[in-house]
Amino acid sequence: MTRLAHGLRTTFVALEERNFRLFFFGQLVSTTGSWMQMVAQSWLVLELTGSGTMLGLVMALQWTPLLLFGAWGGVLADRYDKRKLILAMETIAGLLALGLGLLVLTDVVSFWMVLVVAGMLGCTQAIEQPARQSFVSELVGPERLTNALSLCGLLINVGRLLGPAIAGLVIAVAGVPYCFLLNAATYVPAVTTLALISSRSLYKGARAQRAKGQLTEGLRYVRRTPALWVPLLMMLAIGTFTYEFQITLPLLTSDTFGVDAAAYGLMQTMLGAGAIVGGIWVARRSVPTNAMLTGSAAVFGLIVLALSVAPTYLVAMVIVPFQGAANITFSTLANSSMQLSSASAMRSRVMALFSMAWVGTTPIGGPIVGWIAQTWSPRWALALGAFAAIGAAGLAWARLRHEPDPSTGLLEHHLVPDAEPAEPSELVDPSAGTDNGAAALRPQVA
């Protein structure tokens, strides 16, 4: 029993931080609502247009702002209070969900209105994603960062399981508009918990002062730091070609295996279940290493390659949970590696680039992968993603094998609570190494 209790504590250690508990449970409710809205939005678009092309247009419009403007969102998050930025964007997103729900409820909605709402949601994501990614380190500090990020990935996948199921029930019982209205309601606990977070207990670091050229300064900072640009290029390759499961898996189930939508839904469930297990596994790893990062990418690619040659639907169903586990393991390790290797005054700009490579590349990779799947086969599309991951892992390991692990790049000046903002010239290259004893610093609560 003692070993079980110790295992549970290790797995969920970040939840010992009051601020992270508030953030986690508020985001769990909100994420479930967001997945509900995604299902309802897709259903609404098909009801209004009957066109898969128009559905793809809505999805592209929702993610394109992150690709185009995510780097500027990182600049804002480095300059200003991250919590207030997230709170403002969540409030706007909740009002957009409420407005769309009322438009559908009163039967005055048109397709162009859905496009406008999708574009505005995309703009909020361009600001919120970098702030949210980097805010986690302020909630828990460096020692628990990997654990906290894995739990954040866990809540996304729990939301992926619960949200569509609740949406299907709500649509069947009450109708599409109530999914949007219910999603709007889920932003209330998210905003409330953000407001309750104690600023005094945050692991605050240096904040960038307003100055010209901060976007290009962030790019130069990443370019001169192998611990940042190598994982970023890995995520760029994998995000563009490997993560397009929303395209490859439906086509694999319908075109290759010839099964129905229910079978695809079951495959998505197994993918999410595997991701939850993977999230729990990686949550027990306190600090990522370069070997873990590149190894997880290679394993991810090999599993996707195995899925591409699966002879039957049943064999694919055995492989898919491992794919979900490898997916969240790699993304969590890449995220925490880059955050631990970043100076606090640069972290949001770094994570903006990470978010752009992770999900902002969908408007680029989606059409390419979809064309390959339609022209040749979904198997070839999956194989492309597999080789992208394996190749990225090999090239990254060749570069990172001689670099210190992320744990050796902790910067003392970005772990001290309420530190004074640093000038850009004062930023230290994390690859140079610093005193690892800084990891033991904790915020002093008055």
The angle at the Cα of 205, spanning 203 to 207, to the nearest 5 degrees, equals 135
Fill in the amino acid letter for 400.
L
Residue 262 pLDDT grade (very low, low, confident, very high; cuts 50, 70, 90): low
Cβ contact 419:302 at 8 Å:
no
pLDDT band of 4, cuts 50, 70, 90: low
SS3 content of the chain, % helix, strand, coil (to 5): 80, 0, 20
Query: Which position has the higher pLDDT, 400 or 407?
Result: 400
Task: Tell me which residue has tokens 């010239």.
Answer: 425
**24 Cβ contact partners less than 8 Å away, ≥ 6 residues apart:** 14, 15, 151, 152, 155
User: Comparing 163-172, 322-331, 415-424, which segment has the lowest mean pLDDT?
Assistant: 415-424
User: Would you state the pLDDT for residue 446?
Assistant: 27
Is 157 contained in some domain?
Answer: yes
- 224 lies in the same domain as 156: no
Shared domain check, 236 and 164: no
Question: In angstroms, rounded to a whole number, what is the distance separating the alpha carbons of residues 436 and 100?
Answer: 50
Where residue 93 falls among pLDDT bands split at 50, 70, 90?
very high
Q: Place 9 in a pLDDT band, splitting at 50, 70 and 90.
A: low
- Compute the distance between CA of residue 18 and CA of residue 209 in angstroms, rounded to an integer: 29
pTM of the complete model: 0.69
225 with 361, same domain: the answer is yes
**How far apart are the C-alpha atoms of 128 and 360, rounded to whole Å?**
13
**Last residue in a domain, options 163, 194, 225:** 194
pLDDT given at position 423: 39
Report residue 170 as tokens.
């709500």
Query: What does the pLDDT read at residue 45?
Result: 83
Do 159 and 290 lie in one domain? The reply is no
Residues 182 and 222 in one domain: no
The CATH number that applies at residue 35 is 1.20.1250.20
Number of H helices, E strands in the chain: 16, 0
Domain count, the chain: 2
> Which range of residues forms the domain containing residue 51?
1-194
Does 208 fall in a domain? no
Q: If 0-12 CB within 10 Å is exposed, 13-18 middle and 19+ buried, where does residue 80 land?
A: middle
